Protein backbone atom coordinates (compact mmCIF):
# COMPACT_ATOMS: atom_id res chain seq x y z
CA UNK A 1 0.00 0.00 0.00
CA UNK A 2 1.59 3.28 -1.08
CA UNK A 3 1.38 6.32 1.16
CA UNK A 4 0.03 9.33 -0.63
CA UNK A 5 2.80 11.81 -1.39
CA UNK A 6 0.78 14.74 0.02
CA UNK A 7 2.21 14.52 3.57
CA UNK A 8 5.80 14.62 2.33
CA UNK A 9 5.68 17.39 -0.26
CA UNK A 10 6.44 20.76 1.32
CA UNK A 11 3.41 22.98 1.17
CA UNK A 12 2.64 26.50 2.17
CA UNK A 13 2.08 25.45 5.79
CA UNK A 14 5.12 23.21 6.15
CA UNK A 15 8.16 24.70 7.85
CA UNK A 16 11.49 23.99 6.20
CA UNK A 17 14.83 23.68 7.93
CA UNK A 18 17.58 25.38 5.95
CA UNK A 19 20.80 23.39 5.51
CA UNK A 20 23.90 24.69 3.76
CA UNK A 21 24.47 22.49 0.73
CA UNK A 22 27.75 20.62 1.23
CA UNK A 23 27.46 18.58 -1.97
CA UNK A 24 30.65 18.99 -4.02
CA UNK A 25 29.93 20.90 -7.25
CA UNK A 26 31.61 18.10 -9.23
CA UNK A 27 29.01 15.67 -7.87
CA UNK A 28 26.02 18.04 -7.87
CA UNK A 29 26.13 18.73 -11.61
CA UNK A 30 25.51 15.03 -12.28
CA UNK A 31 22.56 14.54 -9.89
CA UNK A 32 19.11 13.69 -11.22
CA UNK A 33 15.76 13.31 -9.47
CA UNK A 34 16.23 9.60 -8.63
CA UNK A 35 16.77 7.77 -5.35
CA UNK A 36 20.56 7.42 -5.80
CA UNK A 37 20.85 11.20 -6.09
CA UNK A 38 18.70 11.56 -2.98
CA UNK A 39 20.97 9.19 -1.04
CA UNK A 40 23.96 11.27 -2.18
CA UNK A 41 22.32 14.47 -0.95
CA UNK A 42 21.39 12.83 2.36
CA UNK A 43 24.99 11.78 3.01
CA UNK A 44 26.86 14.92 1.94
CA UNK A 45 24.45 17.20 3.79
CA UNK A 46 24.02 15.05 6.88
CA UNK A 47 20.25 15.36 6.63
CA UNK A 48 19.59 12.21 8.67
CA UNK A 49 21.75 13.65 11.47
CA UNK A 50 19.76 16.88 11.37
CA UNK A 51 16.55 14.86 11.59
CA UNK A 52 17.71 12.49 14.35
CA UNK A 53 19.60 15.05 16.40
CA UNK A 54 22.58 12.71 16.87
CA UNK A 55 25.66 11.91 14.73
CA UNK A 56 24.78 9.14 12.25
CA UNK A 57 27.06 6.96 10.20
CA UNK A 58 26.24 5.32 6.90
CA UNK A 59 26.75 1.62 7.52
CA UNK A 60 25.12 -0.29 4.67
CA UNK A 61 24.01 0.93 1.27
CA UNK A 62 21.65 -1.17 -0.84
CA UNK A 63 21.62 -3.75 1.94
CA UNK A 64 20.09 -7.15 1.33
CA UNK A 65 19.01 -9.22 4.31
CA UNK A 66 17.29 -12.61 4.33
CA UNK A 67 14.24 -12.54 6.60
CA UNK A 68 12.40 -15.74 7.46
CA UNK A 69 8.96 -15.65 5.88
CA UNK A 70 9.78 -12.64 3.68
CA UNK A 71 12.83 -13.76 1.73
CA UNK A 72 15.41 -11.23 0.64
CA UNK A 73 14.68 -7.68 1.79
CA UNK A 74 16.41 -4.75 0.10
CA UNK A 75 16.95 -1.63 2.23
CA UNK A 76 18.23 1.52 0.51
CA UNK A 77 20.52 2.54 3.37
CA UNK A 78 21.18 1.60 6.98
CA UNK A 79 22.70 4.18 9.30
CA UNK A 80 23.97 3.71 12.85
CA UNK A 81 24.06 6.20 15.70
CA UNK A 82 24.67 6.42 19.42
CA UNK A 83 21.93 8.18 21.33
CA UNK A 84 22.54 10.47 24.31
CA UNK A 85 22.71 7.45 26.64
CA UNK A 86 25.35 5.67 24.55
CA UNK A 87 22.90 3.12 23.14
CA UNK A 88 23.19 2.05 19.50
CA UNK A 89 20.32 3.06 17.21
CA UNK A 90 19.68 1.86 13.69
CA UNK A 91 17.96 3.90 10.98
CA UNK A 92 16.56 2.01 8.01
CA UNK A 93 16.18 4.52 5.19
CA UNK A 94 13.76 4.11 2.30
CA UNK A 95 14.70 6.64 -0.39
CA UNK A 96 12.32 7.72 -3.13
CA UNK A 97 12.96 9.96 -6.09
CA UNK A 98 10.74 12.86 -7.07
CA UNK A 99 8.32 10.68 -9.05
CA UNK A 100 8.10 7.74 -6.59
CA UNK A 101 5.94 7.17 -3.52
CA UNK A 102 6.93 5.92 -0.08
CA UNK A 103 5.51 2.48 0.64
CA UNK A 104 4.33 1.22 4.06
CA UNK A 105 4.84 -2.42 3.02
CA UNK A 106 8.52 -1.66 2.34
CA UNK A 107 8.78 0.09 5.72
CA UNK A 108 7.50 -3.07 7.43
CA UNK A 109 10.02 -5.15 5.46
CA UNK A 110 12.86 -2.73 6.41
CA UNK A 111 11.93 -3.02 10.10
CA UNK A 112 11.85 -6.84 9.84
CA UNK A 113 15.26 -6.84 8.11
CA UNK A 114 16.78 -4.67 10.84
CA UNK A 115 15.32 -6.89 13.57
CA UNK A 116 16.82 -9.95 11.85
CA UNK A 117 20.22 -8.37 11.20
CA UNK A 118 20.54 -6.41 14.48
CA UNK A 119 18.59 -8.33 17.13
CA UNK A 120 17.83 -6.28 20.22
CA UNK A 121 18.95 -2.98 18.66
CA UNK A 122 16.19 -0.37 18.29
CA UNK A 123 15.43 0.39 14.65
CA UNK A 124 13.74 3.50 13.36
CA UNK A 125 12.31 3.47 9.84
CA UNK A 126 12.79 6.67 7.86
CA UNK A 127 11.38 7.61 4.50
CA UNK A 128 13.26 10.16 2.43
CA UNK A 129 11.42 11.84 -0.43
CA UNK A 130 13.22 13.97 -2.98
CA UNK A 131 10.95 16.86 -3.87
CA UNK A 132 13.56 18.48 -6.11
CA UNK A 133 17.34 18.85 -5.95
CA UNK A 134 17.00 21.53 -3.26
CA UNK A 135 14.16 20.06 -1.17
CA UNK A 136 14.04 16.85 0.81
CA UNK A 137 11.28 15.55 3.05
CA UNK A 138 12.04 13.04 5.82
CA UNK A 139 9.36 10.93 7.48
CA UNK A 140 9.70 8.90 10.66
CA UNK A 141 7.47 5.82 10.54
CA UNK A 142 6.05 4.34 13.73
CA UNK A 143 5.02 0.70 14.11
CA UNK A 144 1.66 0.43 15.88
CA UNK A 145 -0.70 -2.47 16.54
CA UNK A 146 -2.63 -1.27 13.49
CA UNK A 147 0.42 -1.22 11.24
CA UNK A 148 2.90 1.43 10.15
CA UNK A 149 1.89 5.05 10.67
CA UNK A 150 3.55 8.36 9.85
CA UNK A 151 5.21 9.88 12.91
CA UNK A 152 7.30 13.00 12.40
CA UNK A 153 7.59 14.79 9.06
CA UNK A 154 10.33 17.36 8.50
CA UNK A 155 11.32 19.28 5.40
CA UNK A 156 14.79 20.48 4.47
CA UNK A 157 15.90 23.03 1.90
CA UNK A 158 19.50 22.88 0.71
CA UNK A 159 20.93 26.30 -0.03
CA UNK A 160 24.30 27.60 -1.10
CA UNK A 161 26.17 29.93 1.25
CA UNK A 162 25.48 33.01 -0.85
CA UNK A 163 21.71 32.35 -0.67
CA UNK A 164 21.79 31.74 3.07
CA UNK A 165 23.34 34.91 4.38
CA UNK A 166 21.37 38.15 4.55
CA UNK A 167 22.09 41.13 2.29
CA UNK A 168 23.78 42.96 5.18
CA UNK A 169 26.03 39.96 5.86
CA UNK A 170 26.85 39.71 2.14
CA UNK A 171 27.88 43.39 2.09
CA UNK A 172 30.01 42.88 5.20
CA UNK A 173 31.69 39.74 3.83
CA UNK A 174 32.29 41.47 0.48
CA UNK A 175 33.92 44.42 2.25
CA UNK A 176 36.37 42.02 3.93
CA UNK A 177 37.54 40.58 0.61
Helical residues (DSSP H) of 18-160, grouped into ranges: 25-28, 35-44, 47-52, 104-117
Number of domains the chain contains: 1
CB 107 within 8 A of CB 94: yes
Residue 29 reports pLDDT greater than 80:
yes
The average confidence (pLDDT) of the chain is 85
Within-domain flag for 4 = no
Within-domain flag for 8 = no
Within-domain flag for 113 = yes
DSSP string, 106-147: HHHHHHHHHHHHSTTS-EEEEEEEEEETTEEEEEEEEEETTE
Instruction: For residue 79, count other CB atoms closer than 10 A to its CB.
Output: 23
Within-domain flag for 146 = yes
Long-range contacts of 41-47 (CB under 8 A, 24+ apart): 41/130, 41/133, 41/136, 41/158, 42/77, 42/93, 42/95, 42/128, 42/136, 45/19, 45/20, 45/21, 45/156, 45/158, 46/19, 46/22, 47/19, 47/128, 47/136, 47/138, 47/156
pLDDT of 82-140, one tens digit each?
A: 988 899 999 999 999 988 888 888 999 999 999 999 999 999 999 999 988 899 999 99
**pTM of the predicted model over 0.85:** no
Within-domain flag for 97 = yes
Tell me the residue range of the domain where 38 lies: 16-176
- pLDDT score at 94: 94
Within-domain flag for 110 = yes
Within-domain flag for 95 = yes
Within-domain flag for 9 = no
**How far apart (Å, rounded) are the C-alpha atoms in residues 70 and 87?**
28
Amino acid sequence: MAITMCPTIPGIRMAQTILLDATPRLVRVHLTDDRQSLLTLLRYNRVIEAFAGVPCYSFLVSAETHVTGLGCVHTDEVCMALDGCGETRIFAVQARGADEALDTEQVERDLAACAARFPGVPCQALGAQLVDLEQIALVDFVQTKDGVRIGTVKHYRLVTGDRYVSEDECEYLTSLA
